[in-house]
Amino acid sequence: MNLKGHSEKEVLSRLKNAMQKDTSYDKVMSAMCTQPHPIAVKAHMQFIASNMGDFGLFQGTKELEDKVIKMMGYMLGDGNACGYITTGGTESNIQALRTARNMSKKKRPNMIVPFSAHFSFDKIADLLGIEIRKASLDTEFKVDMDSVSDLIDSNTIALVGIAGSTEFGQIDPIDRLAKLALSNNLFLHVDAAFGGYVIPFLDKKYDFDFSVKGVTSITADPHKMGMSTIPAGGLLFREEACLLPLEIDTPYLTIRKQHSLVGTRSGAAVAAAYAVMTHLGTEGYKEIVKRCMKMTGRLVEGACDLGIDPLIEPAMNIVALDVPDLDDVRKKLRSRGWVTSLTRNPKAMRLIIMPHLTEDTIDSFISDLGECIHDNGGAGGSGCPILHCGEEAYPALK
């Protein structure tokens, strides 16, 4: 650290320089976060000093948190669900599985997650000493139920289903997982970190939340499609009893017990989530999701015109495209400013159509994609996708 403090002007100018090296969201098609809603930013600034780690001091913010959890509960099929605002999907998943492990009291616990599960579950296996068993996927990248059944044994403590997988945006058959969980007396955690703020607002209905009997807990992140500020995740349990295994005595705080993983915790993120959810309402989120799905449809149609198939019909605003010469095309796109990402198996171009994108951006991306592929001799059609352009006409995107 410098001995004498720099002037505010100097510091702000350094910050400005640093920010110029950050990528602005305009051409980012790989991010699950987005520019937060302006009202979330305002609320965040207003509550910047609020610490939910000691919420006895911040009872106003605590009331906002209770209201956010209530709203999320209604959004996810049970207005009586309980929980708290975490730092994100990772903390929510850790805490859900920690509850499952502590409730089960098994000595050598294992959990069954789909191969499509987010890497946070590998962290969980390491942190919590739970063996991770990965169930295979079907041809549409949903978890294969036979594979899940085969992996269950007497040490299994939990099943995990994904509602909006990170790579494909696919939704596992949560109702079938729930039946299996109930018949084996297992905890069922649904990871809807991304999909939690998408699926409830789609025209097509899915059984993925607390309305499905057997779902024990759900992760849903305000800082992804919830349009709120970072760091805000949500962890919800159907039963209040699920919070008990997480409780710890906090002798030197104004509160007696705490169930969050982190200690000091952002009240700003809580206020932001409250602000944006009450400001947008169900109708506002529907509009946002509708717009993202329309852009997703436009992207898929544009890709099809170039002879590029999506691997599956997108269930939400995440698309995997079977682009030829993938690595090379991605590099070329990067030099034109586009940030794309990858799916692992099979390898494809992964694009997330977030609210910071526009129809014009989609059009210019498709045009650049066409040029980059043309440079490489055009799309040959590798025969890998299960869905070919024109076959299904993508009803979910209409």
Provide the binding-site residues for ligand PLP, judged by CB under 6 A.
32, 88-90, 93, 118, 120, 162, 166, 191, 193-194, 221, 233
Rounded-to-integer distance, Cα 66 and Cα 71, Å: 9
CB of 118 to ligand PLP, least distance (A): 3
**Could you give the strand order of the β-sheet that contains 131-135, starting from the edge strand earlier in sequence?**
82-86, 233-237, 217-220, 187-191, 156-162, 110-114, 131-135
Cβ atoms of residues 352 and 165 within 8 Å: no
Residue 188 Cβ vs ligand PLP, minimum distance, rounded to whole Å: 15
C-beta closer to ligand PLP: residue 193 or 379: 193
Q: Which residue lies nearer to ligand PLP by CB, 122 or 153?
A: 122
Query: Least distance from C-beta 107 to ligand PLP, angstroms?
Result: 28
Half-sphere exposure of 106 (CA within 13 A, CB side): 22
Residue ranges in 239-266 assigned as alpha helix (H): none
| Residue 339 contacts residue 192 (beta carbons within 8 Å) | no
Among left, alpha and beta (phi > 0; psi -120 to 50; other), residue 180 is alpha
Query: How far apart are alpha carbons 55 and 264 in whole angstroms?
Result: 10
Three-state secondary-structure class, residue 261 = coil
Nearer to ligand PLP, 120 or 266 (CB): 120
Shortest spacing between CB 229 and ligand PLP, in angstroms: 12
Comparing every residue's Cβ against ligand PLP, the nearest one is 89
Residue (209 or 221) nearer to ligand PLP, CB:
221
61 vs 166, which CB is nearer to ligand PLP? 166
Provide φ and ψ at 338, rounded to 5°: -85, 135
Nearer to ligand PLP, 194 or 197 (CB): 194
348-352 sheet: strands from edge to edge:
318-321, 348-352, 341-343
Of 225 and 379, the one with the shorter C-beta distance to ligand PLP is: 225
Minimal distance in Å, beta carbon 93 to ligand PLP?
6
Instruction: State the minimum distance, in angstroms, from the CB of residue 178 to ligand PLP.
Output: 18
Q: C-beta of 218: minimal distance to ligand PLP in Å?
A: 11
Specify whether the CB–CB gap between 14 and 2 falls below 8 A: no
